[in-house]
């Protein structure tokens, strides 16, 4: 079972990397009536190799989205959860995981991609839960109480 979860997460990372490796789109061909010396206008998109930062997923605050392996929230079996990542450069990275009932889990990483902590609160009891993590290959296994999240390094750092 653990091998399956790792392969699913690795596949997610591969899909994420494939989606993020687009580079700049081809410039449109000039119209036949345009003068050959007329310069072509292009608009840079942040993150397309123009030194303006990480790309953004349209309509979100995320640099990327993916499904990550998750388990244990309110006794839930292992499955896949929607996640979005916000990369803040020298301030580190935040992975926001959306659980089945819409609850959000924030998982924080240092700028080097190492696990930092979870966002917790006394009001929902998460502040009293033990927090731990371990690294297995390119996955960070982050645990909050009985909850487990497998986050690919490529998702945290970008590709």
Q: Tokens for 66?
A: 């993916």
The domain in which residue 129 lies consists of 2-22+55-157
Q: Does a structural domain hold residue 87?
A: yes
The whole-number pLDDT of residue 3 equals 29
Residue 28 lies in a domain: no
Residue 104 counted as domain residue: yes
Exposed, middle or buried: residue 92 (CB in 10 Å: 0-12, 13-18, 19+)?
A: middle
Q: Is residue 27 part of a domain?
A: no
Average pLDDT over residues 104-126: 96
pLDDT, average across residues 59-85: 95
Task: Tell me how far apart the alpha carbons of residues 156 and 52 are, in angstroms, rounded to a whole number.
Answer: 19
Tell me the mean pLDDT in the region 65-86: 96
The reported pLDDT for the residue numbered 56 is: 87
* Residue 95 lies inside a defined structural domain of this protein: yes
pLDDT at 156: 96
How many domains would you assign to the chain?
A: 1
What per-residue confidence (pLDDT) applies to 26?
A: 44
Strand order in the sheet with 139-144: 115-118, 104-109, 93-98, 79-87, 64-71, 147-152, 139-144, 131-136
pLDDT at position 53, please?
A: 62
Q: What is the DSSP string of 25-75?
A: PPPPPPPTTS-TTSPPP----TTSSSSS-----TTSS-SEEEEEEEE-GGG
Higher pLDDT among residues 108 and 23, named by residue: 108
pTM above 0.85, yes or no: no
> Can you tell me the distance from the alpha carbon of 109 to that of 119, in angstroms, rounded to the nearest whole number?
11
- The residue with greater pLDDT, 42 or 78, is 78
Query: How does strand 115-118 pair with strand 131-136?
Result: unpaired
Strand partners, 133: 142
Task: Please indicate, yes or no, if residue 11 is contained in any of the structural domains.
Answer: yes
81 located within any domain: yes
Task: Report which of residues 41 and 67 the model is more confident about.
Answer: 67
The mean-pLDDT minimum among 45-49, 64-68, 138-142 falls in 45-49
Burial 103-134 (b: 16+ CB within 10 A, else e): eebebbbeeebebeebebeeeeebeeeebebe
Please report the pLDDT score of residue 52 as a whole number.
Answer: 54
**Is 77 inside a domain boundary?**
yes
């Amino acid at each position: 079972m653990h091998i399956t979860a790792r392969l699913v997460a690795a596949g997610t990372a591969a899909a994420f990397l494939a989606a993020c490796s687009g580079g700049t789109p081809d410039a449109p061909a000039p119209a036949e009536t345009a003068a050959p010396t007329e310069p072509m206008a292009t608009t840079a998109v942040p993150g397309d190799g123009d030194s303006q930062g990480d790309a953004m997923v349209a309509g979100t605050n995320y640099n990327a989205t993916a499904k990550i392996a998750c388990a244990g929230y309110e006794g839930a079996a292992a499955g896949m959860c929607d996640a979005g990542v916000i990369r803040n450069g020298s301030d580190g990275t935040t992975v926001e995981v959306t659980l089945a009932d819409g609850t959000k889990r924030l998982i924080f990483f240092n700028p080097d991609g190492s696990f930092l902590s979870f966002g917790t609160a006394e009001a929902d009891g998460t502040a009293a839960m033990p927090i731990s993590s371990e690294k297995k290959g390119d996955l960070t296994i982050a645990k909050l109480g009985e909850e487990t999240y497998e986050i690919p390094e490529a998702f945290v750092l970008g590709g």
